[in-house]
Chains A and B, each alone.
Chain A
């Protein structure tokens, strides 16, 4: 099971702060599953930044059981 935490306006748009997702492949598959479970357009998810266990990741990065993934829609400036 992968724990996914959401940040940025995406989290407000879809009212989802975190969820557990079954996935053993990569971030792309993880996003597809999130997309189907939460009805979030896949394009919206792919434009986010990803961090696996605190480290920067890409859509090709592998995920493993027990990982914690941060999905963050683009933000800037303060």
Chain B
């Protein structure tokens, strides 16, 4: 039980090896410290995995967590999190999903679900409030993601009552290292946790329940939520650009700013970018826009593939299956996006491994038949990767790091810590380059802090200077960590930029701010170090702490929420260090640090050494990238965590 609203106060633990079902206890103090979502998941993983294990080891955990705002109709709050050890990186991964599973899990009376062990038979789990059943999944095995979900729905006692589901497709069953997990048509895409489900012989989990969730200050909460939704609907990004162009609307500004990864990250521009832009997608293929439950933004593109209305591609998919493989055929990308979802694979990691394989072939390092701009066999390849048919498809299903170990080319293998990079070419957004390098889960734009929003996509601070970037990276990483833990979609944070800054990029004020950003590093570093000076609430621009406070009864503000994010980020770091990660893994492919993107621009490469040094300092980490003992104490991280990373004598 919990004294706080917004929580059900119960976590369910299921051991597939023994079929033991138990309650997993956490205290209200832990809720205050770790909130929920990916941070609470990190705490559970920290407490249960104290040594390096293989992702496919039965001891690996799948930790599915919600946040206090899930199920309370806050905007964009259907998001739930899945964490575990990644088959792609061997480190902690967390993946966020907008499907209905999280809300249904909470309705069943649980804040989180922990799955461990390995089932002898192929099964799925059915949860109805307190009743948990293991069911045979032989008839579902081999089925694609949507068909699996349809069949599971039809098998319910009342098929008309929509149940929450997470499922894997053939790629997860066949242990493709970047297999994803789907809930409805939304994916927990990154990190390969679909393969972890596959390794556990777990095809799906369904959940249904009848519990209500308490809100502590209901009237205040409802009034805030109403205003929050109105603000998001009026904001130029969340109320206009994202609903109308989706994230795909970024293709054009990325091209303009040399940030559009092209030909396996060898350039930031693609001559035919317009063909795969959000504008052409909207003009030629968009059926309608839609969104997750409780989302007023509706960034999802609904498109038609083979006469069927399906979820269209996000920016990352467009960029990486377009310019990054020299492809300008948008219709093909729509089809591949659908296929990858159906087979259960992360589009980013598939595409990143594909472009790397193409370059290896071009350089004569791996004779695989894959060529830049040649797309006629990619449909077939996607199927072959999911089913592990043939050597080429097999290796592509292993991800670019394993491919580089086998065939060479690590200097142009677009991954960090084994996870493929998103579609932003960081040599023209060096702060984003730092973020990629130090991100806890690998080559992720969001976990990396999304500095690119200051460096050209939103504001236009100097793209090439390292100045100030480390402080902003830390600030954004911590805030996004906490927002995600609360249960909100990260897109709600875009509204923190006052509309006038976005709508008037040429105004004196916006130009002044753009110029000032690199010089604000010290001030931001101060706020990072002493978040108490941010003990305020911004009910319009950043209502998250206030909403969580009204829902739970905790007393949060901007600074306190940021501190929770910092705690989470450091705990994830500690877990990774425990799993064998070192500061050497905070790296980028040499192409991005050593080669100029633009021959006439000597600053067009990521000055990573300098950025990392500053970043470690502002984070309060030592030279080896380890949280110092004083930082561990200050953040009230687990007392034994110093010993975990410094050895037994640390305490």
- Chain A contact residues, CB within 8 Å of chain B: 5, 7-9, 11-12, 17, 46-49, 51, 54, 56, 58-59, 70, 72, 74-78
The answer to whether B242 and A74 touch across the interface, beta carbons within 8 angstroms, is: no
Q: If A7-B252, A76-B237, A76-B453 touch, does A12 touch B505 (CB 8 Å cutoff)? A: no
Select from chain A the residue with minimum beta-carbon distance to B254: A78
With a cutoff of 8 Å between Cβ atoms, the chain B residues found around residue A72 in the complex are 252-253, 256
Select from chain B the residue with minimum beta-carbon distance to A6: B279
B27 to chain A, nearest CB (A): 37
With a cutoff of 8 Å between Cβ atoms, the chain B residues found around residue A46 in the complex are 506
Q: Which of the four size classes fits the interface of chain B? A: 35 or more
Q: If A74-B505, A78-B315, A78-B457 touch, does A54 touch B256 (CB 8 Å cutoff)? A: yes
- Chain B contact residues, CB within 8 Å of chain A: 236-237, 240-242, 244-245, 247, 249-250, 252-253, 256, 269, 274, 277, 279, 282-283, 314-316, 450, 453, 457-460, 491, 494, 497, 502-506
B582 to chain A, nearest CB (A): 31
With a cutoff of 8 Å between Cβ atoms, the chain B residues found around residue A5 in the complex are 274
The answer to whether B491 and A75 touch across the interface, beta carbons within 8 angstroms, is: no
The answer to whether B502 and A76 touch across the interface, beta carbons within 8 angstroms, is: yes
Q: Would you mind naming 14 contact pairs between A and B with Cβ atoms under 8 Å apart?
A: A7-B252, A7-B279, A11-B279, A49-B253, A74-B236, A74-B241, A74-B502, A74-B504, A74-B505, A75-B249, A75-B252, A75-B253, A76-B241, A78-B457
With a cutoff of 8 Å between Cβ atoms, the chain A residues found around residue B247 in the complex are 77-78
Most buried by B among A48, A49, A56: A49
CA distance A7 to B503 in the complex (A): 14
The answer to whether A77 and B283 touch across the interface, beta carbons within 8 angstroms, is: no
The answer to whether A17 and B242 touch across the interface, beta carbons within 8 angstroms, is: no
With a cutoff of 8 Å between Cβ atoms, the chain B residues found around residue A49 in the complex are 253, 256, 460, 505-506
The answer to whether A8 and B453 touch across the interface, beta carbons within 8 angstroms, is: no
CA distance A67 to B18 in the complex (A): 71
CA distance A9 to B240 in the complex (A): 8
B641 to chain A, nearest CB (A): 34
CA distance A41 to B316 in the complex (A): 33
CA distance A77 to B494 in the complex (A): 7
With a cutoff of 8 Å between Cβ atoms, the chain B residues found around residue A59 in the complex are 506
The answer to whether A76 and B494 touch across the interface, beta carbons within 8 angstroms, is: yes
With a cutoff of 8 Å between Cβ atoms, the chain B residues found around residue A76 in the complex are 237, 241, 250, 453, 457-459, 494, 497, 502
A52 to chain B, nearest CB (A): 11
Most buried by B among A9, A11, A51, A75: A75
With a cutoff of 8 Å between Cβ atoms, the chain A residues found around residue B242 in the complex are 77
CA distance A42 to B562 in the complex (A): 41
With a cutoff of 8 Å between Cβ atoms, the chain A residues found around residue B244 in the complex are 9, 12
Extra A-B contacts (12), CB below 8 Å, given A17-B279, A75-B458: A7-B253, A8-B249, A8-B279, A12-B245, A48-B505, A49-B460, A72-B252, A72-B253, A75-B250, A76-B457, A76-B497, A78-B457
Select from chain A the residue with minimum beta-carbon distance to B258: A54
A1 to chain B, nearest CB (A): 19
The answer to whether A9 and B245 touch across the interface, beta carbons within 8 angstroms, is: yes
With a cutoff of 8 Å between Cβ atoms, the chain A residues found around residue B460 in the complex are 49
With a cutoff of 8 Å between Cβ atoms, the chain A residues found around residue B279 in the complex are 7-8, 11-12, 17
